[in-house]
Structure 1
Amino acid sequence: MSTFRDLLIWQKSMTLVTQIYQSTNHFPKEEIFGLTSQIRRSAISIPSNIAEGFGRESKQDFLRFLNISIGSLFELQTQLEIAKNISFLNENEFNNIFENSREIERMLVSFIKKLKERN
């Protein structure tokens, strides 16, 4: 792999960001600086930290940024639950986005584990 763009977790995270933007477009306008902004920032942080960590010189730095990505992912999952609870997302939309986020979560956990095992 020669660039972060080759990482499937980065690609799937970018797709998730697009999905988040499309879904939050119909949130109430008064939420643009509230939940909408929080959800979007959390989503953007996931592929951004993967990319930044990839560009670092050490495996330890890369692992640190991958862990930051997981933190952002958990933050996003929490915010999605809030959006569902207050009816900004319907059940189907929530389930689709949430399952995509869980797939990225599993991939990140697995990738981190593999990186730690390498010498």
Structure 2
Amino acid sequence: MAKVSAFEDLEIWKEAVRIAVEIYRLADLSPLRNDYKSRDQIIGAAISISNNIAEGFEYNNNKVFVKYLHYAKGSAGEVRSQLAILVAAGRVNNQDYEKLKMDLFTLSSKIKSFINYLNTYNQKNNK
């Protein structure tokens, strides 16, 4: 894998940003637009995915980065959970839910693969 010099170059960060923008779009639609508590909560969780990737990267320490990648993965699960509740409550349509759920599953899988890569790299280089 080529050395990455900025978190903005990471595909997982780009994907997390794309999903957060999609969550913003969804939050601007009725009836979620007027459900301020749910709107703020899901936007916050969605933003925290990319923010944790960025913050962890900036520590320039793979062990710390892995910790923040776990937080990012957890936030992706939180967004999926919130979406499931919002679709059940009629605040989000099923089509948007299914699309975002699959996008979040895919992102979680990519984050997990990256965690595994970094852990393997750390083990090989810390002998």
TM-score interval for Structure 1 and Structure 2 normalised by the shorter chain: over 0.9
Query: Could you tell me which residue of structure 2 aligns to residue 65 of structure 1?
Result: 68
Query: Could you tell me which residue of structure 1 aligns to residue 27 of structure 2?
Result: 24
Q: RMSD between aligned alpha carbons?
A: 0.9
Between the aligned residues of both structures, percent identity stands at 29
Q: How many angstroms apart in 2 are the aligned matches of 1:89 and 1:57?
A: 39
Greater C-alpha radius of gyration: 2
**Structure 2-normalised TM-score?**
0.89
Amino acid at match of 1:20: I
Amino acid at match of 2:26: S
Q: Unaligned 5+ residue runs, structure 1?
A: none
Establish whether residue 55 from structure 1 lines up as the match of residue 41 from structure 2: no
Distance 1:14 1:28, change over 3 A: closer
How far apart are residue 28 of structure 1 and its match? 4.4
Deviations 1:22-73 (A, max 9, x none): 00112141x21x1111100000000000000000031111011101111111
Aligned mate of 2:6, from 3, 6, 10: 3
Deviations 1:63-108 (A, max 9, x none): 1110111111111110000011001111111111111111100100
Q: How many angstroms apart in 2 are the aligned matches of 1:21 and 1:94?
A: 14
Runs of 4 or more above 6 Å deviation: none
Amino acid at match of 1:4: F
Q: How many angstroms apart in 2 are the aligned matches of 1:28 and 1:18?
A: 15
